[in-house]
Structure 1
């Protein structure tokens, strides 16, 4: 009897291609298993509630901040009973940064770390060389670079649509040594919050005029297809922009130091492989997920098929690093010390509304004080309702 597993991932070559191309390869090993994958947009990946998806699909590639909500509402299966001891050992030892830990919640495990990412820096080496500019090491140097590039007809670009504006606030707070607490209010102490918000505002004011309308993929596309953006200080890393065959390749690097440690505190991204409670064969679904996460598969087929691995063996593989122009070695320090966001039920709606308000502030529609006060009040309310 054929086992059918229907999956939902996110609509980008990095999220879609390695899963679609795994189907026939897995079928050769498990001929009685039929897998299909559907894709949703990047926006829906970060915002769309899991309820509707959990009713229709067996497998979901999801963003880890949803884990508390998914566990509380019984949307995703706890994978713990289905992960063999040997697999648990290599996952514990071999995942990148806090990626594996991000799917652990209140004693359960609700995802496998098939993909790892964090906010890092990206730049066009050719444009920086043409302008005779060096990548900045500190936040003050970043602001000066933004000013200097204007005289060269170039821009710093900052993805600052609502979600990413909020991500930047959280990253800066953690990089400055005072990360958002995951289990208590306030979101940001008021005076410190004003400092963070004003830093973000100043950076965006000096950046490409489309910054508040572009997400990371759109900003990376702009940098890779035009000669407008030379440097992007905070964007989620994508190996797709630095592989062979890219006409105007980007280079990725650790973030600048707003605080005392350059790479500390950048917001964790990536994607997890979850199994819904609708699935009739959780054991087989987990077997497939572990097969995708296996270090040897991650550093070969998964990367070759366009994926961005979640396992350290791939990130430290010299061949993969060479094929991506130093992407992995250039960003591993940042990812290893990434900040793990709150994941409690109710956090995602707070995060979405906070992003809308932060983006509005960056467009001049509210004050820094009003934004910080709202963030603190709303965060406290979300925690109480959890």
Structure 2
């Protein structure tokens, strides 16, 4: 008798696929199912409509800004239809920061937190002994060391939001950003858009970390999505995001595993998904496969931390403090448009207010008033 077979889609980086593929090979058959995992590029998160992916895959690894679109397209199964409220409540307590909360939208959870990440600081060990802890210190360091902002793809607007959060601004009820906080955040980014930021303006976080690991002329990236894979040995070290007047500011990343409506759910698949969320998988199996777990106990485990060069202890406070991105239907095109506008303005040296005007207009165009963010 053949085992039920499922198709999944994840992203093409060791952090994104090794643990899932190893679990499909070594764990799933013992649980009574088979899973084939396909991969797409990191930018595939923004490139393909969720409904199209859900028509082709049973399981989809996604990030939380996609949930509004998924709800609007009615293409995923809510976790409440698969797991009981007690299990979800226990997972919310166990998951670090807002890793599970980020997938709750329209009164339901649309993914389980497979992987936890947020924007943190990366620096070259051989160039910086003690990384700066504040935005003022980052700007001062940039006078003597090559500092790069992460500006490619959606990351310009994500870095902007992280700085706004560090400044303590609350998002307006009817808009995207408090104007004065926006001006202040823009000024910080403008001060850091020097030769190094310009040289790496098209580099996504993976490319930036690869460049730093390879010894390229880049000493520090003050906000970049953390990748444990670069921390175990070599040149790259990670630390908490810079603090502003209100402390750490960071915008949550990470990924969740969602179940499409085309999926024929079986007890075996439920068992496998629960196992991926278990202590065994999160603290032992996933880190051993170059993954980045989502349970707080894994992030606090001294052995896991030591194996990965202090990555977890060095960035845990940032992850616990991280804020959510907008998740409404239209959040992805807004993020893309706003980031492109901000990136071009920083490179061209434009003043803040016209840029913020354009970003606010894009937000209102892509967000239907009264809908959940």
Deviations 1:306-358 (A, max 9, x none): 10001111101110000011111111110001011111111111111111111
Q: Alpha-carbon deviation of 1:214?
A: 1.2
Quote the residue 2:212 is aligned against. Answer: 223
Alignment of 1:98-177 (within 5 A): 98-129=98-129, 134-149=130-145, 155-177=146-168
Corresponding position of 1:5:
6
CA RMSD of aligned residues (A): 1.8
Q: Which runs of 5+ in 1 are unaligned?
A: 150-154
Residue aligning to 1:152: none
- Taking the aligned partners of 1:306 and 1:27, their CA distance within structure 2 comes to 19
Query: For the residues of structure 1 that align with 2:212 and 2:49, how far apart are their CA atoms?
Result: 31
Aligned runs of 1:19-58 on 2, under 5 Å?
19-31=20-32, 33-58=33-58
Q: 1:318 to 1:241 in 2, by over 3 A?
A: same
Q: 2:229 aligns with which of 232, 240, 258?
A: 240
**Distance in structure 1 (CA, Å) of the matches to 2:314 and 2:46:** 26
Q: Distance in 2 between matches of 1:270 and 1:315?
A: 14
- What residue ranges of structure 2 are gaps of 5+ in the alignment? none
Distance 1:68 1:283 in 2: 28
Q: 2:275 aligns with which of 273, 283, 291?
A: 291
Q: Distance in 2 between matches of 1:383 and 1:157?
A: 31
Q: Give the match for residue 252 of structure 1.
A: 238
* Conserved? CA contact 1:158–1:219, under 8 Å: no
Contact 1:234 1:255 in 2 (8 A): yes
Structure 1 Cα separation of the partners of residues 49 and 349 of structure 2: 28
Does the C-alpha gap of structure 1 residues 297 and 162 become closer, same or farther in structure 2, counting only changes over 3 Å? Answer: closer
Cα deviation, 1:169-205, whole Å, max 9, x if unaligned, reads 1111111001435xx3221233332222122121122
* Alpha-carbon distance in structure 2 between the residues aligned to 1:343 and 1:160: 20
1:268 to 240, 252, 259: 252
CA distance in 2, matches of 1:230, 1:366: 26
**Partner in structure 1 of residue 361 of structure 2:** 377
Please give the secondary structure, in 2, of the residue aligned with 1:344: coil
- Structure 2 residue aligned with 1:309: 293
CA distance in 2, matches of 1:126, 1:316: 26
Query: Paired residues, what number?
Result: 369
Query: Any idea what SS the aligned residue of 2:193 has?
Result: helix
Measure, in 2, the Cα distance between the counterparts of 1:285 and 1:30: 8
2:257 partner SS: strand
Of 341, 356, 359, the match for 1:357: 341
Conserved 8 A contact 2:28-2:272:
no
